[in-house]
Amino acid sequence: MIRKLFRNASITTPSDPGTPLAGERQEEVRHFTHGAVYCRDGVIKAIGEEKEVLKVLSPGDVDIEIDCEGLCLIPGFVDPHTHMCFAKKREEEFTLRIQGTDYLEILQRGGGILSSVRAVRAASEDELFSTTLEHALSAHQFGTTTLEIKSGYGLETESELKMLRVIDRVGRETPLDVVPTFLGAHAVPEEYAKAPEDYLNLLIHDMIPAVSKQGIARFCDVFCERNVFTVDQSRRILQAAKEAGMGLKVHADEVYDLGGAGLAAELQATSAEHLLAASDENLRAMAKRGVIGVILPGTAYSLQKAYAPARKMVEFGVPVALATDCNPGSCYTESMPFVFGLAVLNMNLSVSEALVAATLNAAYAIEMAAHGGSLDVGKSADLLLLDGESPAIIAYHAGVSPVVGVYKRGELVFSP
Ligand code: NIG
Ligand code: FE
């Protein structure tokens, strides 16, 4: 048994009430000026002002003491939306995009997601594992302690199962907690371009049963977008996934207001993600059904589009979570501090709102709140030590990582 005391820390953390935080509560955090966290075997046993925590400890209760020297301590970031299982970067496509070619037009021409599909299909399982591991470890160094990784660059049964095995292996061979999501409905693969309905049948009658039998994926996601999957097709896929026991997520209204947010509300999906173009009506429907809105400001930044209406989401009572969307096309970053800065400076979230979005609500968006997302007794001691006095440093010290210590289950896993 290892008993650790983190002391002399300026702690800011949400406290988990058992639901994601929405509306005025989106910025509900606790602060301890001279705080301490006590953990046993990687599980938090006490948190509060240092003198209060010391009161509940007896002499000899602490094996290792860590003096945080007044620095800011927050929960580890939870990144609830990534596509970081990919085999090759797409730098040439980035160059085309900044010269004015549209993201969806590149996909229409057989590039974009489809070029990542060719690379993933051609990669061996070990090759794909080593590139995915690189991205995951990079995220870890930027303070991510729990993350979701989607499949979706296989688009045929065996390649999707291969991606899910790789994603699962990243979780088993690193300190990170990894939540795998099946995204077979990421695009219609080239061989089905002339018969998209046949691909839908493959998804529903072959892939979803095979993925369910494999037992790795916890969620199913669909890219509901013009020229990708319609609302009706998305509904059919998600219903089949629900029957197979998977949780539901929707890539909704990223480029056009197709109604993906409304579909997420109708199906009571766990989350709807992107939402750059979502209508007020559908955002309100999400709030009513408790669907989490995952904002991905790095994608708006990289695609040079208007940001999702995060202030409106808070106003309507949608619980907002924050993620990187790390992928080789629309947003290549593993950095939660980067997207945190964008959320504060370009989407007008307060620092506390962004902190809740990047921790507790993000954990709810992937059903990991029982383990992480806040520094509460009984949760995993996933902690970040920041080079500042408060979480404001994350947005304020732009373009660099403020993270000087990453602790997973109480163990130091990274320090620069
Ligand atoms: O979230 N929108 C669909 N999927 C990703 C991009 C994937 C890619 O371009 O490779 C996204 O933006
Ligand atoms: Fe995405």
Is this structure's pTM higher than 0.85?
Answer: yes
3-state secondary structure of 375: coil
Nearest bound ligand to CA 90?
1
**Partner residues linked to 73 by β-bridges:** 11, 385
> What confidence score (pLDDT) does residue 98 get?
94
Tell the residue nearest (CA) to atom 9 of ligand 1: 329
Can you tell me the distance from the alpha carbon of 210 to that of 231, in angstroms, rounded to the nearest whole number? 24
The Å distance, Cα 96 to ligand 1 centre, comes to 16
Tell the residue nearest (CA) to atom 8 of ligand 1: 329
Tell the residue nearest (CA) to atom 2 of ligand 1: 223
Can you tell me the distance from the alpha carbon of 303 to that of 274, in angstroms, rounded to the nearest whole number? 12
Low-confidence stretches of the chain (pLDDT < 50) are: none
Ligand 1 mutation target, pool 117, 186, 226, 255, most atoms within 8 A of CB: 186
> What confidence score (pLDDT) does residue 172 get?
98
Can you tell me the distance from the alpha carbon of 159 to that of 191, in angstroms, rounded to the nearest whole number? 14
Residue pLDDT, tens place only, 31-69: 999 999 999 999 999 999 999 999 999 989 999 999 999
CA 277 centroid distance within chain: 20
The Å distance, Cα 328 to ligand 1 centre, comes to 8
The Å distance, Cα 268 to ligand 1 centre, comes to 23
Ligand 1 atom closest to residue 81's alpha carbon, by position in its atom list:
1
- Secondary structure string (H, E, C) spanning 313-328: HHHHCCCEEECCCCCC
Largest CA distance in the chain: 73
Q: Which residues contact 294 (CB under 8 A, 6 or more apart)?
A: 80, 81, 271, 272, 273, 274, 275, 320, 321, 322, 323, 362, 365
Can you tell me the distance from the alpha carbon of 73 to that of 34, in angstroms, rounded to the nearest whole number? 11
The Å distance, Cα 251 to ligand 1 centre, comes to 9
- The closest of 346, 414, 367, 332 to 76, measured between CA atoms, is 414
Residue list, ligand 1 pocket, CB within 6 Å: 83, 112-113, 116, 223, 251, 254, 299, 325, 327-330
Ligand 1 mutation target, pool 92, 118, 330, most atoms within 8 A of CB: 330
Record the tokens describing residue 392, joined without a space.
Answer: 């404001």
The domains of the chain, with CATH numbers, are 3-75+374-414 (2.30.40.10), 78-365 (3.20.20.140)
CA 371 centroid distance within chain: 15
Residue pLDDT, tens place only, 353-400: 999 999 999 999 999 999 999 999 999 999 999 999 999 999 999 999
CA 276 centroid distance within chain: 17
Cβ atoms of residues 405 and 384 within 8 Å: yes
C-alpha distances in angstroms, 390 versus 60, 171, 196, 369, 416? 31, 30, 51, 23, 19
Ligand 1 atom closest to residue 187's alpha carbon, by position in its atom list:
3
| DSSP 8-state code for residue 83 | -
| DSSP 8-state code for residue 62 | -
